[in-house]
Amino acid sequence: MHRVGYLIPEGFQIMSLATQTVFELANIAAGAGVYRVENYSLHGGPVRSSLGMHIDTLPLTAAGLADTWMVAGTLTPLTPPSDEVLHQVRGFVDSARRTAGLCTGTFVLTQAGVLDNRRATTHWAYAKAMQQAHPRVVVEEDRIFIVDGPVWTSAGMTAALDMALGMLETDLGVELARSVAHKMVMHQRRSGGQSQHSELLALAPKSDRIQRALDYARRHLNRPLSVEELAQVVHLSPRQFARVFTAETGQSPARAVESLRLEAARLMIEQSRHSLDTVARETGFRDRRHMREVFMRGFGVPPQAVRRDARRVV
């Protein structure tokens, strides 16, 4: 049996506990108690979440048998926990099979010094602060989750679910992980190498008509997608469309379409075995060389590096 201990700090973010569903459903799918999940705090007893809910916990002094530790995050990650908690966390890494920081729970691992000279990620809103405060940590702020030896770290909120499914796949295989993802209505289980960034969210148009143009562009990326075509979709003149689009998104239509192509190509590279020539063709790049140029400009790495990162064994 795999024993999973959650370290729950005062003011914890309730989303951290959503990952427990992965282990709960794994037990159901496996037809056996393959995981035992327990909640801990320094002294035990009720712990209050950031929303005001309380959860009962066991004291850390009773926590010697967990082989996986999950450190929950808070909405105030820059405030370090007590020295006693940091000492316990260092012990987790030394004795447990793996230790994970959920979202901003990664800060506890950095403050304990266990991420020095390791790769790590956290919620995008706090990644730069983590890098500045802990320069010995190799912060990769644009990743869903990262595994570096026995230490796992996840990006914000729902990314922790992907990390927990990654743990399940490591423990019990890909088919059981897929079964649990299906039960959780997670239509896409993201790999650790994926980006936290969503181009459509970043563009954030203010009107439905510009959103319709973006949705149309995303569905037809294998087409040239001229300004004239997009303008016709929303019944505007090309000149008026370009003006309104730029005012609402901060980007020209051509730049936005290129960003959507880049995101779609990255997802295809991470999630499929299609050749790079096929990916380039399906996402509307002129050819593989053109796609590489855009990848270098957008990500600073070539498509081959993205594929290697996505296939890295976790």
Tens-level pLDDT at each residue, the chain (314 residues): 899 999 999 999 999 999 999 999 999 999 999 999 999 999 999 999 999 999 999 998 875 678 999 999 999 888 889 999 999 899 888 889 999 999 999 999 999 999 999 999 999 889 889 999 999 999 987 788 999 999 999 988 788 998 999 999 999 998 898 889 888 977 545 544 445 455 555 566 778 899 899 989 989 999 999 999 999 999 999 999 999 999 988 889 999 999 899 989 988 887 788 999 999 999 999 999 999 999 988 877 889 988 887 665 33
Our CA dihedral for 86, 91, 96, 99, rounded to 10 degrees, sits at 20
Q: Which of 127, 125, 90, 92 is nearest to 107 (CA)?
A: 127
- For position 314, what pLDDT does the model report? 39
- The pTM for the full model equals 0.65
For residue 116, what are the β-bridge partners? Answer: none
- What are the residues whose beta carbons fall under 8 Å from the beta carbon of 30, sequence distance 6 or more? 172, 176
Burial of 167 (0-12, 13-18, 19+ CB in 10 A): buried
- For position 194, what pLDDT does the model report? 47
- For position 311, what pLDDT does the model report? 64
CB 163 within 8 A of CB 152: yes
- For position 142, what pLDDT does the model report? 72
Domains belonging to the chain, first-starting first, are 2-183 (3.40.50.880), 199-310 (1.10.10.60)
- For position 51, what pLDDT does the model report? 92
Q: What is the per-residue burial (b if ≥16 Cβ within 10 Å, else e) of 116-138?
A: eebbbbbbbebbeebbebbeebb
